[in-house]
Amino acid sequence: MIKVCKFGGTSMADGITMLRVRKIIESDAARRYIVVSAPGKRFSGDVKVTDLLYETYENVSLRGETGEAFDNICERFRGIVAELGLNMDIDGLLERTRREILEEATPDFCASRGEYLSACVMAQLLDVPFIDARDVVKFGADGRLDGERTYALLACALKGKKRAVVAGFYGEDVNGKVKTFSRGGSDVSGAIVARAAGAGLYENWTDVSGFLACDPRIVDNPLPIRAISYKELRELSYMGANVLHSESIFPVREADIPIRIKNTFRPEDEGTEIVPTSRYTYSGKRVTGIAGKKDFTVIFLEKSLMNAEIGFTYRVLEVFLKYGISFEHIPTGIDTMSFVIDASELKNGVLDEVCEQIRTTVHPDSLRVIHDIALIAVVGHGMARSVGTSARLFEAIARAGVNVRMIDQGSSELNIIVGVDNDSYERTIKAVYEEFFD
């Protein structure tokens, strides 16, 4: 079996952590293709190399020079190479990079150089070939990954290589210019390499031991999630549980490749395995995880005989479309309907205009706006199998003295979403965690 391993910024932060990475790779012959991020933070308050590179771009566009930010990057890479005792011409590489940045001064090109340089160093440390993502990861004219070309080029580049290091985060667009994924995008690169290599496992090495059942800032030491399906992960990440870039699921999901989140600093920890939904086996747990977000606004509409008025929802949605507002949920009753919207969508007085338009378009009996609502998603395939999950959930919330403002259950029974006041957010998460995990 081939394993593709992606190491994030904290795993690449300095020479000591890179030696850990080498040990991890060399301890398993299946760990053949390595994707790396740029060096991240070494301590809280430190600056990531990628952020220094965006600053370098600003310097070049304002003053025509790479400035102090790039000098700091050079110092970091010189330090890493010295710590590792590598015999490589890092000064030459950094000088060439400086010249290329001045020539191809786009934000994406500048930002990509962190991954480029760290992959060069890692390839040297492992004494294996370096693959420039520019040659193998291709974007189409629509700005999206050109999967067909990318997988073919990558498969060809990897063929016959026992091991190789690929730079994460970037590729090349149709005009031959470097283009990056969005921030954190080395996760996506890792998934693409896993797919192209026909890997049996995509290991994503980071600085936490996988997903936790809920936010550790709210509950002390929540239990780790050992296994989670792609669908459950999608629900939890959407609601704020962020360990993995959300787009990194797609390339591997299509090829049925599981992802395992591992901790570079505690490699013995099992981590979390993200499995294709088709291969998911019921663990006996009703709830897999709990996640949530604050600051939603609810527009509540009431109108007698709403259920018989054909096109009611359509006309309200047309108003949202006109203002370019995306909504999260529409819980409905017979004569009531609520639109749950992220408050950041309704800035600069747009809310008043939207409400006015809704009033003149569908003439509701009443329209109310409720601010400062938090949404909490309780997620798990196990909920569909067991009677009484929602009874337990709402009893636990009631015991905590929290008033439920909204309920929405997806038809797949994979999640129940509960709306509460922002102020009750933490209390609700604690109560739900205690009910299902303690």
Which residues 6+ apart lie within 8 Å of 103 measured at CB?
Answer: none
Q: Which is nearer to ligand ASP, 204 or 424 (CB)?
A: 204
Give the range of 96-104, 177-185, 226-234, 368-376 binding ligand ASP by CB under 6 A.
177-185
Q: Is 186 in the site for ligand ASP (CB under 6 A)?
A: yes
To ligand ASP, the closest distance from the beta carbon of 302 in angstroms equals 45
Q: Residue 350 contacts by C-beta under 8 Å, 6 or more apart in sequence?
A: 323, 325
Scanning residues 401 to 430, which ones bind ligand ASP (CB under 6 A)? none
Among 38, 110, 120, 228, binds ligand ASP (CB under 6 A): 38
Choice from 171, 185, 251, 292 touching ligand ASP (CB under 6 A): 185
| 117 vs 287, beta carbon nearer ligand ASP | 117
Q: Say which DSSP state 235 is in.
A: H
The CB-of-103 to ligand ASP minimum distance in angstroms stands at 22
User: Quick one: DSSP state of residue 37?
Assistant: -
Under the criterion CB under 6 A, does residue 261 sit at the interface with ligand ASP? no
Q: Is position 171 an interface residue for ligand ASP (rule: CB under 6 A)? A: no
**Shortest CB 114 distance to ligand ASP, Å:** 5
Geometric angle at alpha carbon 412, from 370 and 188, rounded to 5°: 85
Q: How far is the CB of 151 from ligand ASP (least distance, A)?
A: 20
CB of 188 vs ligand ASP, minimal distance in Å: 8
- Residue 427 tokens read as 């209390």
Number of residues that bind ligand ASP (CB under 6 A): 14
Q: Which long-range contacts (CB under 8 A, 24 or more apart) does 348-357 make?
A: 350/323, 350/325, 351/297, 353/323, 354/299, 354/319, 354/320, 354/323, 354/325, 355/299, 357/319, 357/322
Establish if 50 lies at the interface with ligand ASP (CB under 6 A). yes
User: Is residue 237 within the footprint of ligand ASP (CB under 6 A)?
Assistant: no
Site for ligand ASP contains 113 (CB under 6 A): no
Residue 415, token pair as written in the block: 């999640």
* 184 forms part of the interface with ligand ASP (CB under 6 A): yes
Selected range binding ligand ASP among 139-147, 179-187, 265-273, 420-428, rule: CB under 6 A: 179-187
Q: Which of 78, 96, 183, 315 binds ligand ASP (CB under 6 A)?
A: 183
Burial of 217: CB neighbours in 10 Å, binned 0-12, 13-18, 19+: exposed
Query: What is the three-class DSSP state of 343?
Result: helix
| Residues 57, 28 contacting (CB under 8 angstroms) | no
In degrees, rounded to 5, the angle at the alpha carbon of residue 183 between the alpha carbons of residues 181 and 189 is 45
- In this structure, the number of other CB atoms found within 10 A of the CB of residue 409 comes to 16
Count of CB atoms within 10 A of residue 284's CB? Answer: 8
Q: Pick the closer one to ligand ASP by CB: 124 or 186.
A: 186
CB within 8 Å of 58: residues ≥ 6 apart: none
Non-local CB neighbours of 176 within 8 Å, separated by 6+ positions: none
Among positions 8-37, residues that touch ligand ASP (CB under 6 A) are 8-9, 37
Contact 318, 354 (CB under 8 A): no
Span from 182-190, 287-295, 316-324, 389-397 in contact with ligand ASP (CB under 6 A): 182-190
Closest separation in Å from C-beta 170 to ligand ASP: 9
Binding test (CB under 6 A) with ligand ASP, winner from 169, 205, 300, 433: 169
**Out of 25, 114, 137, 235, the residue judged to bind ligand ASP by CB under 6 A:** 114
Per CB under 6 A, 48 contacts ligand ASP? yes
Q: Could you tell me where the beta strands, DSSP code E, fall in 112-266?
A: 130-131, 164-167, 170-172, 178-180, 201-206, 227-229, 259-263
- 77-to-40, 60, 118, 339, 433 alpha-carbon distances in Å: 12, 20, 8, 50, 44
66 belongs to the binding site for ligand ASP (CB under 6 A): no
- CB of 11 or CB of 229, closer to ligand ASP: 11
Rule CB under 6 A: which residues touch ligand ASP?
8-9, 37-38, 48, 50, 114, 168-169, 183-187
